[in-house]
Structure 1
Amino acid sequence: MNIFSGLFITGTDTGVGKTIVTAALAAALRAEGIHAGIWKPVQSGAQLGSGATDAERLLRYTGIPERPETVALFSFAAPLAPLIAARQANISVTLKDLVSAGKTAARGYETLIVEGAGGAAVPLTEDCLTADLILELGLPALIVARSGMGTVNHTALTAFFLQQRKIPVIGVIMNDGTGDGLDQDPSVATNVELIEHISGHRVLGRFPVLQGEIHPQVLVDTVRKSIDLEPVRRALAM
């Protein structure tokens, strides 16, 4: 049973675009009248308050009036896996702590769009991988993957790992990122077909390169043009 209504956004790797996709989905749902919040269970790689953390970018992109420390209670400056970053900061985080933070982040919201750290096998605590947290929360997962070369293997392995943990996967979103080299990458034309065939999961769309300032309406318009939101709506209604 779900601890709260929501969807967990995980990736095939770090830097694949989970933050922009999480923000875009939240913004699009809010534009439809769904009171969606955002949550980053653990983040590392920048100091909270610098404006460079994922939590701060999520708030900036969606326009949600929350405090960064509510969105990401556990933040570590070291650019390391959350478990190691927490060790270096002499802070002990448990799965129970993460679930409690999620319940706090969900208060007052109809649903919560959750962004993981890195991929599904990233260690968050001494005895908890990202997949363990997803399972504990009882949420379905959506995989964010790069559009270019190498993504078929990474996406299939992520999907199989989640399935092994009996976590429902509602689909995959490809992300163009900065777009560097994609126009010279012949794999882009066939990656979607291969991912769907091998993993058994639908690709819900391809998130394009965004130019200029990113704000909620830009994300809403992008989702409407590029992403099939119906599987997300169905997942949140379960």
Structure 2
Amino acid sequence: MKLFITGIGTEIGKTVCSAILVQYFKADYWKPVQSGDLHYTDTNKIETWTDNTFCHPETHRLQLAASPHQSARAENIEIHLDDFQLPETENTLIVEGAGGLMVPLSDNTFMIDLIEKLKVPAALVVRNYLGCINHTLLSIMALKQRNISLEYLIFNGNFPEDTERVISTFITKETKIIKIPEIERSDKEHITITAKQLTITKL
């Protein structure tokens, strides 16, 4: 199985959710583009938070903590979709994107284009905030328009029942739902406990 972890925005917990799924599936991990935080990347976090995970090297490691197209421009680099090839592995592979679906890799290519190019199903991470319903439904619509399979919808944290219900009515029966509770700290102990208790359900 190969799975692309994306989200409805930035800073909603994609890396924590990726770590939990890596631990749950005993999967490999790949971050195609790392923008900023090169001293402690998302790959470093996965290595710290999970057990003996094989992490494939990033295709692009960019200094500036910004949108990939801006970070690349600061280094006189242009990101092309042809730069990216899925790592070869016989193991399950968790791929983590940067930000949401419409984060630009260049002036005319976006994260959703990379998912389409790699031909892998998506897992959409949702976090509760004012406006999350709008952002979630727009993201689901965008995936449908590109015929990208939404394998998992991940509710990260606590949600009002009304919010969860209306989002859940917008997905197909093929999409599985994962609910990840709030965790006290992002560390190996809490990631491992959460992975052991993880449940995957269908509508």
Q: Mark yes or no: TM-score above 0.5.
A: yes
1:135 equivalent in alignment to 2:108: no
Contact kept in structure 1, 2:152 and 2:178, CA below 8 Å: no
1:53-202 alignment runs, 5 A limit: 53-64=41-52, 66=54, 70-99=56-85, 102=86, 106-176=87-157, 188-200=160-172
Query: Which ranges in structure 1 are unaligned for 5 or more consecutive residues?
Result: 31-35, 177-181, 231-238
Read off the aligned partner of 2:8 and give its amino acid letter: T
Secondary structure of the residue aligned to 1:90 is coil
Contact kept in structure 2, 1:95 and 1:125, CA below 8 Å: no
Partner of 1:234: none
Secondary structure of the residue aligned to 2:169 is helix
Separation (CA, whole Å) in 2 of partners of 1:171 and 1:113? 12
C-alpha displacement of 1:225: 2.4
Partner of 1:236: none
How many percent identity over aligned positions?
31
C-alpha displacement of 1:126: 4.2
Contact kept in structure 1, 2:127 and 2:156, CA below 8 Å: yes
Higher helix share: 1
Partner of 2:18: 22
C-alpha displacement of 1:162: 0.7
Separation (CA, whole Å) in 2 of partners of 1:225 and 1:46? 30
User: Aligned residue pairs: how many?
Assistant: 202
Separation (CA, whole Å) in 1 of partners of 2:78 and 2:114? 16
Residues 1:150 and 1:191: Cα distance change in structure 2 (over 3 Å):
same
State TM-score, norm by structure 2. Answer: 0.88
Secondary structure of the residue aligned to 2:151 is strand
Residues 1:212 and 1:135: Cα distance change in structure 2 (over 3 Å):
closer
Query: Which ranges in structure 2 are unaligned for 5 or more consecutive residues?
Result: none
- Equivalent of 1:43, from 34, 40, 43? 34
1:223 equivalent in alignment to 2:195: yes
**RMSD, aligned CA:** 2.4
Separation (CA, whole Å) in 2 of partners of 1:39 and 1:124? 17
C-alpha displacement of 1:63: 3.3
C-alpha displacement of 1:109: 4.0
